[in-house]
Amino acid sequence: MAPPLTADRLLAALRAEGLQVVEHPGWRTNNRNHKGAWGPVHGVMIHHTVTSGTAASVNLCFNGHSALPGPLCHGVIAKDGTVHLVGNGRANHAGLGDDDVLQAVIAEKALPPDNEANTDGNRYFYGFEAVNLGDGKDPWPAAQLDAIERAAAAVCRAHSWGAGSVIGHSEWQPGKVDPRGFGMDWMRGRIGARLAGAPERPPVEPSKPPVAKPAPKPPSYAPFPGAAFFAVGRNSPVITAMGKRLVAEGCGRYSVGPGPKWSAADRNSYAAWQRKCGYSGGAADGIPGKTSWDRLKVPNA
């Protein structure tokens, strides 16, 4: 027993197999479930649309026509390999087919001739319609054949089925010829080879090189203004910046501050810094000199 995939799981399975998928508006609730059971599912059926043009084919498969209401499948596979999802649930695609074929699909054995039409295939099969006139002349582009292979493999992989769970409409219902233009044994061979490997993920946008951040600017330090600068009454933001550096170095001797006006507290603090730098006696007089100033690294105010 295999319950059908939810809409989200079907979409994820197709994309995980590397397919470009377009969600037709309303596909998630477009079904014929009110007319009969949907599931358990046993396989995937491939058709051709007998139409041309992607837009017209997708609209037809979504809406159906007066004699056969839509959806007419679950996904439409365009010439360029894009899969357009048009239905989720029971769809009018398989019709009545041979019960012996169904049993062979379930067992994944060689298919018997489809000489009866006694079993509801719409209940048991996912359906993919590939855009093609079905006249034996309309070409099958490589991208479209690749997408048929991938779509069938995606559903099989999601259900842990083998390629024997994929059939053509012509193998199910007497009198049908689709898909005309390639052999289903050949396609099952492709699907089996794909299932033998890991699923291919959809292409991702190449990672972009990281944007180079500008190199941080080197810190800017206040140049030594000269010993004469440090005189009683001097008022400057450089003195505040100096005092903050002295505090950071553990040499602050401030009861309040530091502030912008040169004071005895600044001189006492600088003298402590000079002693920390190894100066003593008259060399540690609290008046900055160039060597000790450069070592203090006072930022530009």
- 215 located within any domain: no
- 58 located within any domain: yes
Q: Are residues 43 and 100 in the same domain?
A: yes
The pLDDT assigned to 200 comes to 61
Q: Are residues 133 and 278 in the same domain?
A: no
Tens-digit pLDDT profile for the chain (301 aa)? 599 999 999 999 999 999 999 999 999 999 999 999 999 999 999 999 999 999 999 999 999 999 999 999 999 999 999 999 999 999 999 999 999 999 999 999 999 999 999 999 999 999 999 999 999 999 999 999 999 999 999 999 999 999 999 999 999 999 999 999 999 999 999 999 999 987 665 545 556 666 777 888 888 999 999 999 999 889 999 999 999 999 999 999 999 889 999 999 999 999 999 999 999 999 999 999 999 999 999 998 7
Range of the domain at 152: 7-195
* Chosen domain end from 195, 211, 242: 195
Largest CA distance in the chain: 118
Q: Are residues 32 and 157 in the same domain?
A: yes
- 260 located within any domain: yes
Q: Are residues 240 and 94 in the same domain?
A: no
What's the distance, Cα to Cα, between the start and end of the chain in Å? 79
The pLDDT assigned to 204 comes to 52
* Chosen domain end from 148, 173, 195: 195
Check which CATH number belongs to the domain holding 70 and give it: 3.40.80.10
Q: Which of 259, 77, 39, 90 is nearest to 154 (CA)?
A: 77
The total number of structural domains in the chain stands at: 2
The pLDDT assigned to 15 comes to 97
- 57 located within any domain: yes
Q: Are residues 185 and 271 in the same domain?
A: no
- 134 located within any domain: yes
The pLDDT assigned to 245 comes to 93
